[in-house]
């Protein structure tokens, strides 16, 4: 792996992590609840953007390898929060909030897959 790729991923991760903290706080503030809507929202948004980017990468030639790494592994890798999802789900289960835990797991897993596909088909529709 080149130093340019490492730099692209690292700087993207820095930006993504800052965006995650900001968006998580914004969503959590607007939707206060025992269900971690901040994490769910970040993962849904990140999945949608990932779908958009992958479709753009597949159907256009605008992006260099380093830009792709910066945007996907870097920014979106820093932005999405699988480890936060895992511990929040565990803590909901541990606290006896079975229905909230199942809602969190369902929204996060199925919602992110749906949003990734939605982003992908959104771009595919407009580029084909």
pLDDT tens-digit profile of 61-100?
999 999 999 999 999 999 998 888 999 999 999 999 999 9
State how many domains the chain has: 1
What is the domain extent for residue 86?
3-127
Give the C-alpha separation, 60 to 109, whole Å: 28
For helices 37-59 and 98-127, angle between their N-to-C axes, nearest 10 degrees: 20
Check residue 59 and give its pLDDT. 95
3-state SS string for 68-123: HHHHHHHHHHHHCCHHHHHHHHHHHHHCCCHHHHHHHHHHHHHHHHHHHHHHHHHH
pLDDT tens digit sequence for 5-43? 999 999 999 999 999 999 999 999 999 999 999 999 999
Overall average pLDDT of the 1-5 stretch: 94
CA dist 44 and 115 (Å) reads 6
């Amino acid at each position: 792996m080149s130093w340019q790729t490492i730099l692209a991923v690292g700087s993207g991760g820095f930006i993504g992590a800052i965006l995650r903290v900001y968006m998580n706080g914004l969503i959590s503030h607007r939707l206060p609840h025992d269900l971690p809507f901040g994490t769910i929202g970040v993962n849904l948004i990140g999945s949608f953007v990932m779908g958009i980017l992958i479709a753009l990468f597949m159907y256009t030639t605008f992006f260099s390898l380093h830009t792709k790494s910066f945007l996907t592994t870097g920014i979106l890798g820093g932005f999405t929060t699988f480890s936060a999802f895992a511990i929040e789900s565990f803590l909901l289960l541990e606290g006896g909030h079975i229905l909230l835990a199942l809602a969190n797991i369902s929204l996060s897993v199925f919602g992110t897959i749906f949003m990734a596909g939605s982003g992908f088909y959104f771009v595919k529709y407009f580029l084909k």
